[in-house]
């Protein structure tokens, strides 16, 4: 298999067995790799209804054919499992160095099932895999775990993916940290913890064999030249993702104080310029990437002195900023660091804390409920203790640690009306009342309320190609973006790099690496195939049209000020977009892929 390592590592933690198997070529051709290939394996390996935290669930780390190649902005890998937060399919993506290192170690992916009788960690070194005792690591934060494993293995270039206390405690919003980058959404860290797997450490010295080395290097040179000329790429290099704070806030769609408002008056204190001036010390980059969009931040004095973190990213600035009514940049950076050390998803954690703050201000939670914490909007002083409590399931943390949907069910009363999630996954930093394409994107995202599966903001807000307060054209926009993003995630390309590496370039990449002769149309067909498979995974766990919706607040309340003031996104508007979307997808009225569509995409034959 040119373009692939050609091997998968299957690990049964219950039996302590490790087995190398061939990467299935027919599935790689059809589903590309990473997110798509892992989804196919998940479908084949487990049945619907499996408890996400049971030994029967599997956890898959998977690279794509671009991962680790010389191509710029191609470091990414996917983690696929069943989510303990949502109860359905989960795909999460990460950059950094772990994915390329796994490929250099001789594997396209790792498939993990079962549960170890005691804490263990897995090492993979140039094709050799071993399980090691990890009881001495259990309880350590992620950064200390990474350092301890490197010291034990006597190799500072070992790449480590690990969990912190949140994952060990099976917190449903726990993430996995890979070289201190986050595999964030949906609780994959809890799945890893449920298997008593503390970490995976990889080291490789091998190369990647491709079909057309000269063609690959030619494409690499072209893409690097385009990146050097692209103003969009230059903006990411200078400002990173925080560049979106200003325009999204100005558009009136930066959710504030638990989505009660669409603009935050404290925004100038926590935007990209403020970061550059006050906390950012240097830029950081993933493997082989010239963009360097990461921002390494240090706080040397004041209340939050000692904070060292890669970030905050745009979503984290929002989650602990506008969502919680906080305009203290240093407090947000510190919250980011604590989340990374405990292994907590910053989006879900910040969203849930903002929800709890509204509950407190409404009197639905009292100081007795919150262990004495004054959980009012703007009070960043609660972050340190609250995040610790969430990570360890203590006190108020035990109420909030499984996300906003679970917390609202337990609090009851009127709180479910302003618990901001879709299918259990907390919404990120774009209010869909001011960008109706995002309403459909959130509602139909394969893993729940996710912006990354179809980011419509460019078309609706920044470029104004569509009326953002209209349903017109949004079904087609979301359909096309979802298919494209599925292909991007499955090849190992970063979405930032995809601004210069479109479908034509992806087709060339697949051709020169694998020799399979891809076209742009075939790339998009693969994306459509992947998205239909992901919907099948959701359907067999009970997802129907009734779940393709938004939280009540977003369908009943209008924003009080700004450009989106008074605009009502109704249930009828959403239903109209859903009807058009289902028709484009070839799904029935209840959101299930039809037999005709599945056969058109060859899915039954591929997975039969």
Q: Where in the chain are the domains?
A: 7-203, 251-425, 426-607
Tell me if domain 7-203 and domain 426-607 are identical in fold. no
For 560-600, the pLDDT digits (tens) are: 999 999 999 999 999 999 999 999 999 999 999 999 999 99
- Contact of 16 with 131, CB cutoff 8 Å: yes
- Contact of 239 with 276, CB cutoff 8 Å: yes
Q: How far apart are CA 258 and CA 418, in angstroms?
A: 8
Q: Phi/psi at 159 (nearest 5 deg)?
A: -100, 130
Tell me which CATH code domain 426-607 carries.
Answer: 1.10.599.10
> Which pLDDT belongs to residue 83?
98
- Contact of 386 with 371, CB cutoff 8 Å: no
Q: The tokens of 552 are what?
A: 């009540």
Fold of 251-425: 1.10.569
Does position 302 have pLDDT exceeding 90, yes or no? yes
For 30-58, the pLDDT digits (tens) are: 999 999 999 999 999 999 999 999 999 99
Does position 443 have pLDDT exceeding 90, yes or no? yes
For 513-536, the pLDDT digits (tens) are: 999 999 999 999 999 999 999 999
> Which pLDDT belongs to residue 180?
81
Q: The tokens of 236 are what?
A: 């990411």
For 260-276, the pLDDT digits (tens) are: 999 999 999 999 999 99
**Structure confidence at residue 339 as a pLDDT band (50, 70, 90):** very high
Q: Where are the beta strands (DSSP E) in 365-503?
A: 421-422, 425-426
Q: Phi/psi at 586 (nearest 5 deg)?
A: 80, 30
Architecture of domain 7-203: 4-Layer Sandwich (3.60)
Neighbours of 362 (CB within 10 A): 12
> Which pLDDT belongs to residue 456?
97
For 450-491, the pLDDT digits (tens) are: 999 999 999 999 999 999 999 999 999 999 999 999 999 999
Q: List, in order, residues 6 or more apart from 218 with CB less than 8 Å away.
A: none
Three-state DSSP at 177 gives: strand
- Contact of 442 with 432, CB cutoff 8 Å: yes
**Structure confidence at residue 608 as a pLDDT band (50, 70, 90):** confident
- Contact of 490 with 32, CB cutoff 8 Å: yes
DSSP 272-340: HHHHHHHTEEEEE--TT-S---EEEEEE-SSTTTTEEEE---HHHHHHTTGGGT---HHHHHHHHHHHH
Neighbours of 296 (CB within 10 A): 14
For 118-159, the pLDDT digits (tens) are: 999 999 999 999 999 999 999 999 999 999 999 999 999 999
Nearest to 330 by CA among 277, 258, 387, 264: 277
The arithmetic mean of pLDDT across residues 286-290, rounded, is 95
Nearest to 32 by CA among 106, 109, 127: 109
- Which residue has tokens 């995040």? 387
Torsion sign over Cα 514, 515, 520, 522: negative
Q: How many residues can be counted in the chain?
A: 608
Does position 1 have pLDDT exceeding 90, yes or no? no
| Whole-number average pLDDT of the chain | 97
Q: Phi/psi at 68 (nearest 5 deg)?
A: 85, 0
Q: How far apart are CA 351 and CA 461, in angstroms?
A: 23
Residue percentage of the chain with pLDDT more than 90: 99
Q: How far apart are CA 38 and CA 171, in angstroms?
A: 24
> Which pLDDT belongs to residue 413?
86
The arithmetic mean of pLDDT across residues 536-550, rounded, is 97
Bridge partner residues of 17 (DSSP): 12
**Structure confidence at residue 543 as a pLDDT band (50, 70, 90):** very high
Q: The tokens of 235 are what?
A: 């903006």
For 378-412, the pLDDT digits (tens) are: 999 999 999 999 999 999 999 999 999 999 999 99
Q: How far apart are CA 405 and CA 418, in angstroms?
A: 10
- Contact of 391 with 344, CB cutoff 8 Å: yes
Does position 179 have pLDDT exceeding 90, yes or no? no
- How large is the angle between the packed helices 474-491 and 34-45, nearest 10 degrees? 90
In 184-281, which residue ranges form alpha helices assigned H by DSSP? Answer: 188-194, 213-229, 231-239, 245-250, 272-278
- Which residue has tokens 């953002």? 468
Q: List, in order, residues 6 or more apart from 605 with CB less than 8 Å away.
A: none
Q: The tokens of 566 are what?
A: 């008074």
Q: CA-CA distances (angstroms) from residue 474 to 352, 468, 585?
A: 29, 9, 13
């Amino acid at each position: 298999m040119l373009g692939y390592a050609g091997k998968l590592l299957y690990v049964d933690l219950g039996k302590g067995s490790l087995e190398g198997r061939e990467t299935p070529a027919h599935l790689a051709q059809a589903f590309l790799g990473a997110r798509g290939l892992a989804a196919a394996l998940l479908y084949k390996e487990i049945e619907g209804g499996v408890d996400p935290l049971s030994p029967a669930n599997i956890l898959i780390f998977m690279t794509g054919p671009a991962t680790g190649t010389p191509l710029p902005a191609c470091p990414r890998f996917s983690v696929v499992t069943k989510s303990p937060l949502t109860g359905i399919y989960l795909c999460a993506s990460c950059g950094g160095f772990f994915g390329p290192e796994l490929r250099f170690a001789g594997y396209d992916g790792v498939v993990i099932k079962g549960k170890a009788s005691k804490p263990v960690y897995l090492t993979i070194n140039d094709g050799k895999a071993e399980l090691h005792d990890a009881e001495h690591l259990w309880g350590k934060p992620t950064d200390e775990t990474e350092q301890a494993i490197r010291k034990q293995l006597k190799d500072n270039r070992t790449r480590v993916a690990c969990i912190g206390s949140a994952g060990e405690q099976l917190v449903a919003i726990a993430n996995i940290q890979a070289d201190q980058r986050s595999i964030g959404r949906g609780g994959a860290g809890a799945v890893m913890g449920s298997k008593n797997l503390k970490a995976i450490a990889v080291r490789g010295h091998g190369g990647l064999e491709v079909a057309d080395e000269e063609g690959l290097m030619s494409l690499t040179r072209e893409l690097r030249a385009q990146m050097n000329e692209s103003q969009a790429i230059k903006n990411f290099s200078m400002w990173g993702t925080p560049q979106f704070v200003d325009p999204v806030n100005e558009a009136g769609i930066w959710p504030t104080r638990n989505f009660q408002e669409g603009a935050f008056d404290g925004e100038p204190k926590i935007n990209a310029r403020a970061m550059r001036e006050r906390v950012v010390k240097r830029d950081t980059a993933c493997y082989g990437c010239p963009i360097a969009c990461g921002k390494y931040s240090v706080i040397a004095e004041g209340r939050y002195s000692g904070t060292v973190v890669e970030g905050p990213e745009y979503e984290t600035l929002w989650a602990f900023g506008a969502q919680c009514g906080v305009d203290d940049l240093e407090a947000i950076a510190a919250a980011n660091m604590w989340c990374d050390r405990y292994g907590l998803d910053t989006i879900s954690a910040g969203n849930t804390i903002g929800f709890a703050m509204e509950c407190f201000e409404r009197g639905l939670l009292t100081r007795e409920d919150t262990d004495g914490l004054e959980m009012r909007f703007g009070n960043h002083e609660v972050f340190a203790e609250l995040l610790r409590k969430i990570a360890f399931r203590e006190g108020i943390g035990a109420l909030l640690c499984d996300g906003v949907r679970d917390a609202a069910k337990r609090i009851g009363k009127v709180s479910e009306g302003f618990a901001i999630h879709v299918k259990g996954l907390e919404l990120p930093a774009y209010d869909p009342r001011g960008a109706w394409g995002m309403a459909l994107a959130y509602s139909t995202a394969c893993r729940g309320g996710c912006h990354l599966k179809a980011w419509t903001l460019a078309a609706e807000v920044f470029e104004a190609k569509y009326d953002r307060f209209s349903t017109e054209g949004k079904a087609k926009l979301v359909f096309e973006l979802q298919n494209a993003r599925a292909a991007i995630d499955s090849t190992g390309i970063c979405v930032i790099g995809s601004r210069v590496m479109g479908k034509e370039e992806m087709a060339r990449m697949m051709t020169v690496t694998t020799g399979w002769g891809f076209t742009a149309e075939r790339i998009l067909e693969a994306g459509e195939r992947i998205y239909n498979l992901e919907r099948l995974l959701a359907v067999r766990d009970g997802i129907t049209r009734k779940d393709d919706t938004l939280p009540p607040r977003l369908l009943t309340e209008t924003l009080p000020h700004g450009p989106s003031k008074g605009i009502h996104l109704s249930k009828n508007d959403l239903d109209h977009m859903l009807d058009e979307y289902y028709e484009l997808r070839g799904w029935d009225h209840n959101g299930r892929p039809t037999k005709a569509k599945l056969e058109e995409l060859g899915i039954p034959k591929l997975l039969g």
